[in-house]
Amino acid sequence: MSGSDWEATEQRLVERSAERQGAIARRDRRRRWLPWLLCPVLFPSLGAAALLYVIDRAGGDFRGWTSWHVLAVVGGAFVVPAVLSAWVARRHGVLEAIAWAIACACVQLALVVGVGFLALGLGPAD
């Protein structure tokens, strides 16, 4: 290979390296803001909506359901969004993933009680 071939190859390697570094920087920026969008907003909203839908379809109470069925539905409605939140935040460390899961469950509880039960009148019948 002549000197110009080496220089052209080196130039291509430098360009590819710069492209990879740009892609890595974009991915890192996305990973920084993604938990702030999904964990306190999207996942709790979807979980609360699903739970309130099930409660509404059941007529506002679970009297006709078995206790394990109620536990599975209510637990699943809270656990699935919390686990998804922890999964999204997993790259930031274990403690942050746990914190996001707890925050997700708390926001979802506030949405179910505040919006669903109090504002919309869904939920347990008197």
pLDDT bin (cut points 50, 70, 90) of residue 1 is: low
HSE-CB at 15 with a 13 A cutoff on CA atoms is 6
What DSSP state is assigned to residue 60? T
Six-digit token pair at 76?
């699943």
pLDDT at 49 over 60: yes
Query: What residue ranges do the domains of the chain occupy?
Result: 34-119
Task: Summarize pLDDT for 57-112 with one digit per residue, the tens.
Answer: 988 888 889 999 999 999 999 999 999 999 999 988 999 999 999 999 999 999 99
Rg (CA), the chain: 24
Quick one: pLDDT at residue 31?
A: 64
